[in-house]
Chain A
Amino acid sequence: MKKQRISDSELVSLYINGDEDAFRELVLRHKNKVFTTINLIVKDRYLAEDLLQETFIKAINTIKCGNYNDEGKFLPWLLRIGHNLAIDNFRRSKRYPIVLMENGTNVFNTLEFAEKPVEDKQITTDSIEKLKRHIQELPESQKEVLIMRAYLDMSFKEIAVATGVSINTALGRMRYALINLKKKMKKNSLAYDKNNYPR
């Protein structure tokens, strides 16, 4: 017999009534999407994990204090919290000078590679890492629209309001984001194909 998937709203109701298994299901369902959104903005895995924790802590506190209004939109609500925390952090980090090594590289990049745990269970394929990097390398205005539309599921109208631009500008930024991504992905696949020669 096919088990019907329980909705997020039902899980939240169960959680409010003390069912921790319901919360566990919510976390397992949505942690990756929230983490992806945050990671693309802050570009630092360890920072993204900290902010992911902070996101869920805020959500837990709001729900357990009785301040959560369920309108069937648990995931969009959770993503907004994560997105806002990531943006706040990103803006704060821009105010402080980046520490550079003698060769000009960011010392935090070096630390990240040096401290990556051997027992890290996350399996990241080459293509996933490349796409992640391509998105992170987009101009901020394009990346912002891309994340809001593709991950936060905001409409172009909502994005226009949130970013203070016209709908046409929001659409234009999305268009350029996708074109740039397509170009980068094509360039990467050509770079590995020895049979392709420039005309």
Chain B
Amino acid sequence: MTKTITQDDVLRYIFKETSNEESASIKKQLLVSESLMEYYREMKDTVRKVKELELEPSDEVTQKILNYSGSPKYESIS
């Protein structure tokens, strides 16, 4: 009996959390279901944009971190 592929299965597939067997099954289903394929493409695109989001701290903060490491004094963190 073929298991019905859900949107959550597709999510796990996008994040590479499916077994080889599950992945093969999902790929087959994506090829025959237009709506599921559209969902897969939209979610994958959104995940990609989220992962690519990169904010940068100021150079000043980066330098403070490096200065602390280079300093011989270490304060214990409470």
Mind listing 8 A-B residue pairs with CB under 8 Å? A20-B70, A35-B57, A49-B57, A52-B65, A65-B74, A151-B51, A168-B8, A182-B46
Which residues of chain A are within 8 angstroms of B42 by Cβ–Cβ distance? 182
Q: Spell out A's residues near B (CB within 8 Å).
A: 20, 23-24, 27-28, 31-33, 35-36, 39, 48-49, 52-54, 56-58, 60-61, 64-65, 120-122, 124, 128, 131-132, 135, 146, 149-151, 155-156, 168, 171-172, 174-175, 178, 181-182, 185
What is the size category of the interface that chain B forms with chain A? 20 to 34
B 15-36 to A, binary, CB cutoff 8 A, 1 in contact else 0: 1010000000000000000000
Does B4 sit within 8 A of A, measured CB to CB? no
Complex Cα distance, B50 from A171, in Å, reads 16
Q: Which residues of A contact B5 (CB under 8 A)?
A: none
A149 to B51 CA separation, bound complex (whole angstroms): 10
Question: What residues of B have a CB within 8 angstroms of the CB of A31 in the complex?
Answer: 56-57, 62, 65
Q: Are B51 and A150 in contact (CB under 8 A)?
A: yes
* Chain B 61-73 interface mask (CB, 8 Å, partner A; 1/0): 1101110111000
How many angstroms between the C-alpha atoms of A175 and B47 in the bound complex? 11
Residues of B bordering A, CB below 8 Å: 7-8, 11-12, 15, 17, 42-43, 46-47, 49-51, 53-59, 61-62, 64-66, 68-70, 74, 76-77
Residues of A within 8 A of B61 (CB): 49, 52-53
In the complex, chain B residues whose CB is within 8 Å of the CB of A35: 55-57
Is the CB–CB distance between A48 and B59 below 8 Å? no
Q: Which of A49, A155, A178 contacts B43 (CB 8 A)?
A: A178
| Beta-carbon contact of B46 and A175 below 8 Å | no
Q: Which residues of chain A come closer than 8 Å to B17, judged between CB atoms?
A: 155-156
| For the complex of A and B, 9 pairs with smallest distance between CB atoms | A171-B8, A36-B55, A56-B65, A35-B57, A49-B61, A32-B54, A178-B46, A150-B50, A122-B56
**Extra inter-chain contacts (12) besides given A53-B65, A61-B76, CB under 8 Å:** A20-B69, A27-B66, A31-B62, A36-B54, A52-B57, A56-B65, A122-B56, A131-B53, A135-B53, A151-B51, A168-B8, A172-B8
* Bound form: Cα–Cα A171–B6 in Å: 11
Q: A64 with B62: in contact, given A48-B57, A122-B56, A131-B49 (CB under 8 Å)?
A: no
Q: Are A156 and B15 in contact (CB under 8 A)?
A: yes
B58, A120: Cβ atoms closer than 8 Å: yes
Q: Kindly list chain B residues whose C-beta atoms are within 8 Å of the C-beta of A131.
A: 49-50, 53
